[in-house]
Chains A and B, each alone.
Chain A
Amino acid sequence: MSLLKKSRIYSPWLYHLHCGGCNGCDIEILAALSPRFDVERFGIQLVTSPRHADILLITGPMTKQILPMAKRVYEQVPEPKVVVAIGSCACGGGIFYDQENYAIIGIPNSVIPIDVYVPGCPPKPEAIINGIIQGILKLSKKS
């Protein structure tokens, strides 16, 4: 294993993508990043550009407005990448799940391939940390 691959697993960077949810899961993600839970123990850092990221966090059901931007963000993340869906909206539609809804395209899985699902409405910060660790384990297999 080369040095580059090893260092990627020890310091995966996050990018947080909001796809039209109610902001509940986003607040819980911020709680997971705060000193009480401190995800930075694992070398994780929140970055402002998807070009620097290794792990993509998705929240909310995929709305029609965000679809082109979400596709572009996913393409900008360099390989190897892992996508973690947080909250029951991003996992399976949640309470917004309705096939006749004109504003919502459907589950993000139909647009972006998702590796790890973390259900909950919203999930606790511990569950989010657990999901991110599962994502890191998948990242080590991909690289």
Chain B
Amino acid sequence: MSSEIKLIKYTIKKPITLRYPSSLIPEKKYSQIPEGLRGLLQRDNEKCIGCKACHYSCSGKATTFQYRENKLIIETFILRCAFCGYCQEICPEEAIKLTKTFEITINNPNEKEAYVTTELDLVKCKNCGKYFATKKFIDKTYQRLIEKINPIIKELVMNDYKKIEEYCTDCRRILSIKLNTHPKKYVWLEG
């Protein structure tokens, strides 16, 4: 008897098939979209400081960077991206977010739509004239330096950093004696 009731139940019920591309009701179009779904990544151009942490944490080497004259270009190749979310996890400024768009089809891998790119302006070195880092990156490193430093040598470091702020990493080493910013003097203070 129970099997007959089941039979009548299933004849009245609608089929479970989803009418995927042609469905008029958006809720019944997709099977289920879970909360933690990781889709296409989005990089905020204003929040990004150009620290390249996303490049070093990328599991598939999809994110690459290159210096082109006065601009730093960070681009992610979507076709190689595995949507693992490591870049979102490690980004110090929370500029990268994985959206929930998963219906991605690309016809040509060489087109612009296959890349997520950000362009950032670089600052010139005062001594050698080389483009080396973005202005936001220099400011952020200064802020983070102050937070973690020993209060005894705080003022000295602050003064020293402002002297060498506009030079690139190679010139900082060369000019350290000339500008009196060599780290050797801190050893005397502590001793």
Q: Which residues of A contact B (CB under 8 A)?
A: 35-38, 41, 88, 91-95, 97-98, 109, 115-121, 123-127, 129-131, 133-134
B83 touching A120, Cβ below 8 Å: yes
B80: which of A36, A41, A92, A125 is its contact (CB, 8 Å)? A92
Chain A residues closer than 8 Å to B17, beta-carbon distance: 35-38, 41
A92 touching B62, Cβ below 8 Å: yes
Min CB distance A137 to B, Å, is 10
A97: which of B61, B84, B106 is its contact (CB, 8 Å)? B61
Tell whether A126 pairs with B103 under 8 Å between CB atoms, given A92-B79, A94-B82, A97-B80: yes
A121: which of B16, B84, B105 is its contact (CB, 8 Å)? B84
Chain A residues closer than 8 Å to B82, beta-carbon distance: 88, 94-95, 121
Q: Could you pull out 10 A-B pairs where Cβ atoms are within 8 angstroms?
A: A35-B17, A37-B18, A37-B31, A88-B60, A88-B83, A94-B60, A109-B109, A115-B107, A117-B79, A129-B21
Min CB distance A60 to B, Å, is 13
Chain B residues closer than 8 Å to A127, beta-carbon distance: 102-105
In the complex, whether B20 has a CB less than 8 A from a CB of chain A is yes
Min CB distance A111 to B, Å, is 15
Min CB distance A74 to B, Å, is 18
**CB-CB nearest in chain B for A34:** B17
A-contact 0/1 string along B4-47, CB 8 Å cutoff: 00000000000111111100000000110000000000000000
B105 touching A91, Cβ below 8 Å: no
B78 touching A97, Cβ below 8 Å: no
A130 touching B105, Cβ below 8 Å: yes
Chain B residues closer than 8 Å to A115, beta-carbon distance: 107
In the complex, whether B59 has a CB less than 8 A from a CB of chain A is yes
Min CB distance A30 to B, Å, is 14
A35: which of B16, B79, B109 is its contact (CB, 8 Å)? B16
B102 touching A95, Cβ below 8 Å: no
Given contacts A36-B18, A37-B17, A116-B105, 4 further A-B contacts (CB under 8 A): A91-B109, A94-B60, A97-B60, A126-B20
In the complex, whether B81 has a CB less than 8 A from a CB of chain A is yes
**CB-CB nearest in chain A for B30:** A126
Tell whether A125 pairs with B109 under 8 Å between CB atoms, given A37-B17, A88-B60, A120-B102: no
A126 touching B102, Cβ below 8 Å: yes
Docked pose: A118 CA to B114 CA in angstroms: 11
**CB-CB nearest in chain A for B17:** A38
Tell whether A120 pairs with B104 under 8 Å between CB atoms, given A36-B18, A129-B21, A130-B21: yes
In the complex, whether B77 has a CB less than 8 A from a CB of chain A is yes
B61 touching A124, Cβ below 8 Å: no
Chain B residues closer than 8 Å to A134, beta-carbon distance: 105, 107
Docked pose: A127 CA to B16 CA in angstroms: 19
> Which residue among A95, A118, A123 has the maximum number of chain B CB atoms within 10 Å of its CB?
A95
